[in-house]
Chain A
Amino acid sequence: MTDEILIDKFLKGHIEAFNTLVWRWETPLYNFILRYLGDGDQAKDVLQNTFIRAYKSLHRLKDHSRFSTWIYQIALNQCHDCWKSQKRANLNISDLEDDDEENRHERITMADPACGPDKSAFNGDIAEYLRRALLLIPEEQRVVIIMKEYHGLKFTEIEAILQIPLNTIKSRLYYGLSAMQKVFKQWGLDREDLRYEM
């Protein structure tokens, strides 16, 4: 049963249809939020709020085929609010707001030489290192990387969710990946042997 059919049923009063949507979307959305915020407990809270918001405002969604875009937008806004309220960025993002994309990328990768794990202590917990590495880059680059790498969204889908030009998305992806590459190099995660061990 497609999302559209489930939405129609829900709007006719069948709450089970909404629960089916929740069960279908909770894992991808949870992983999206988890990678954005880097905290499992917060991710669960934000996920719950996302579904509550969706439950309350689904009747306002006119084009039901846009449900996936719409729910990602809600999750993204919730993540953004949570991130802002926590002020937990590893970098002082406000200092970077006036920078252009390239300068920002340089400053990020130079700013945290000590943030990474000890190379010798590498124990194969790749998820933990990737979690920490993703938190080192700015939100706007991180979100594009998560959508592309982990959710396989097309550039046009990302454009619809973020409502920014395609070239900006590609640029953010380029600089975000470059920043990640530098972090991996510093932490020794780029070694060929490790890549196969993981």
Chain B
Amino acid sequence: MKCEDYQNLIIEELYDEITPGDRKKLKSHLRVCPDCTARLEALRSTSQTLKKWPDVDPKLNLTFIPEKRLSANGWLKRFGFKQFAYGFAGACAAVLLILAIGNTRISYQNGDFEFQASLRPVQTALPSENYLTKADLEQFKQENYTTIGQIITENNERERIRQALVLSDLYNEMETKRQTDLVAVSQTLQQVNYGNEERFDQTNQALSALIQYVNYQFTAKP
């Protein structure tokens, strides 16, 4: 065997994962091969140097908290698109099966959907049963006139009430404004009156002081 053939055994010996048989084989080779002996020692030394890098604490404090509710997107992510597609297809198939068993009939005519379901097959009405007579048409026309007349009357009444309400609101608003104006005028008049009275008092006081002064001047002179 060449030295290259002992590489794996050297590694196994380095990490003490060698079988007794292989260890014996390697040792007998190492006794006669100084290169492989040196290589094993060099790798052992490298391994010791590598171990000088100590572990460090990431200090991340990762904490997972429970999800309160799963949105539709969350369900999709949790179960995967494939499972969701299978589930959706299954649900659609089940709905169709139920509709088929129930002899369901859905039709659309003049803006209305018609839905019928029964355990017995749905009997289609014969065309002859749908024919209308002239009397039916006349009655239908009369009913329409009556209905339209009622609608017009109701509209007129509604409009009259609306106008009355608007007028009532307007009257109330004007009355409120008038009351406000009266209060303001009354307050202003009171203020003017109070000012005049004050001025009269001041004038009276000044005149009486003047009279006293004049009297004093006359009495003081010989």
Instruction: Name A's B-contacting residues (CB within 8 A).
Output: 15, 18-19, 22, 26-28, 30-31, 34-35, 43-44, 47-48, 51, 55-56, 126-127, 130-131, 145, 148-150, 154-155, 167, 170-171, 173-174, 177-178, 180-181, 184, 189-190, 195, 198
Q: Are B58 and A171 in contact (CB under 8 A)?
A: no
Contact (Cβ within 8 A) A149 B51? yes
Q: Which 6 pairs across A and B sit closest by C-beta, in order of nearness?
A: A30-B58, A181-B46, A170-B8, A130-B53, A170-B11, A126-B52
Q: CB distance A184 to B49 under 8 Å?
A: yes
Residues 33-75 (chain B) with a chain A CB within 8 angstroms: 42-43, 45-58, 60, 62-66
- A54→B168 CA distance, assembly (Å): 73
Nearest A residue (CB) for B50: A149
Q: Does B154 contact A (CB under 8 A)?
A: no
Interface size class of B (residues with CB under 8 A): 20 to 34
Most buried by A among B47, B48, B58, B77: B58
A15 to B65 Cα, complex, angstroms: 7
B53:A35 contact, CB within 8 angstroms = yes
B62 touches A26 (CB 8 A): yes
Report which of B48, B49, B54, B64 forms a contact with A22, defined as CB distance below 8 A. Answer: B64
Decide if A31 touches B60 in the complex (CB within 8 Å): no
Is B8 touching A167 in the complex (CB atoms < 8 A)? yes
Q: B56–A34 contact, CB under 8 A?
A: yes
Known contacts A170-B7, A177-B43; is-contact A145 B50 (Cβ 8 Å): yes
Residues of A within 8 A of B62 (CB): 19, 22, 26, 47-48, 51
Q: Provide 27 A-B residue pairs closer than 8 Å at the C-beta atoms, listed in order of the A residue.
A: A15-B64, A15-B65, A19-B62, A19-B63, A26-B58, A26-B60, A28-B55, A30-B56, A31-B55, A31-B56, A35-B53, A48-B62, A51-B62, A126-B49, A126-B52, A127-B52, A127-B54, A130-B49, A130-B50, A149-B47, A149-B50, A171-B8, A174-B10, A178-B43, A180-B49, A181-B46, A184-B49
User: What distance in Å separates the Cβ of B216 from its nearest Cβ neighbour in chain A?
Assistant: 104
For B98-131 the 0/1 string (1 means CB < 8 A from A) is 0000000000000000000000000000000000
Return chain B residues, CB-CB under 8 Å to A155.
12, 15, 17
For residue A27, which residues in chain B have a CB less than 8 angstroms away from its CB?
A: 55, 57-58
Complex Cα distance, B49 from A170, in Å, reads 19
Complex: A149 Cα to B54 Cα, angstroms: 11
Q: In the complex, what residues of A have CB within 8 A of residue B48's CB?
A: 195
Query: Which residues on A sit within 8 Å (CB–CB) of B50?
Result: 130, 145, 149-150, 180
A130 lies within 8 A of B55 (CB): no
Cα A149 to Cα B55 with chains together (Å):
12
**Which residues of B5-40 are within 8 A (CB) of A?**
7-8, 10-12, 15, 17
CA A145 – CA B11 in complex, angstroms? Answer: 11
B62 closest partner in A (C-beta): A22
Determine if B8 and A198 form an interchain contact, defined as CB atoms under 8 angstroms apart: no
Q: How far is the CA of A91 from the CA of B48 in the complex (A)?
A: 25
B77 to chain A: closest CB distance in Å?
Answer: 8
Q: A26-B58, A30-B56, A30-B58 are in contact. Are A174 and B49 (CB under 8 A)?
A: no
